[in-house]
Amino acid sequence: MRKKIIKWLQSKFHFVIRNDADLKELFIYKLSNFRFILISFIILFSFFTISFYLSTTALRYWFDPRFVEQLANQQVINLSETVDSLIIESNNKDNYINNIKSILQGKENDNNFSNTLDDISIDTLSKKNLTSKSNSIDSIFRKQFEESNNNYFNNNIENNFDEILNLNLFSPVSSGIVSSKYDVSKKHYGIDILCGKDEPIKAIADGTIILSSWTKDSGYIISIYHSNNLVSIYKHNSKLLRNVGDNVSSGDIIAIIGNTGELSSGPHLHLELWFNGKSINPLQFVSF
Q: For the segment 229-248, what is each residue's pLDDT rounded down to a tens digit?
A: 889 999 999 999 999 999 99
Q: For the segment 106-116, what is each residue's pLDDT rounded down to a tens digit?
A: 555 444 433 43
The DSSP secondary structure of 32-53, one letter per residue, reads EHHHHHHHHHHHHHHHHHHHHH
The pLDDT value recorded for residue 15 is 73
Residue 219: beta bridge partners? 215
Q: By CB neighbour count within 10 A (0-12 exposed, 13-18 middle, 19+ buried), where does 246 fall?
A: middle
Q: Distance between alpha carbon 269 and the CA centroid of its chain, in Å?
A: 33
The pLDDT value recorded for residue 152 is 42
How many other CB atoms sit within 10 Å of the CB of residue 9? Answer: 14
Of 34, 206, 220, nearest to 120 by C-alpha is 220
CATH superfamily of domain region 118-284: Glucose Permease (Domain IIA) (2.70.70.10)
User: Residue 3 pLDDT > 60, yes or no?
Assistant: yes
How far CA 260 is from CA of 76, 116, 126, 146, 237, in Å, comes to: 54, 27, 15, 26, 6
Is residue 68 within a helix (H) or strand (E), and if so which, with residue range? Answer: helix 67-104
User: Residue 130 pLDDT > 50, yes or no?
Assistant: no
Of 195, 183, 178, nearest to 255 by C-alpha is 195
Q: For the segment 10-46, what is each residue's pLDDT rounded down to a tens digit?
A: 777 777 788 877 777 777 777 777 888 888 899 999 9
Helices 33-56 & 2-10, crossing angle to 10 degrees?
80
254 neighbors 173 (Cβ within 8 angstroms): no
Q: Could you give phi then psi for residue 204, rounded to 5 degrees?
A: -80, -15
Q: For the segment 54-101, what is each residue's pLDDT rounded down to a tens digit?
A: 766 666 666 566 666 777 777 888 888 888 788 887 887 777 777 776
The 10 Å CB-count burial string (b at 16+, else e) for 222-235 is: bbbbbeeebbbbbb
Looking at the chain, the domain(s) classified CATH 2.70.70.10 span 118-284
**How far apart are alpha carbons 149 and 169 in whole angstroms?**
27
Confidence of residue 4 (pLDDT cuts 50, 70, 90): confident
The pLDDT value recorded for residue 262 is 87
**How far apart are alpha carbons 83 and 4 in whole angstroms?**
70
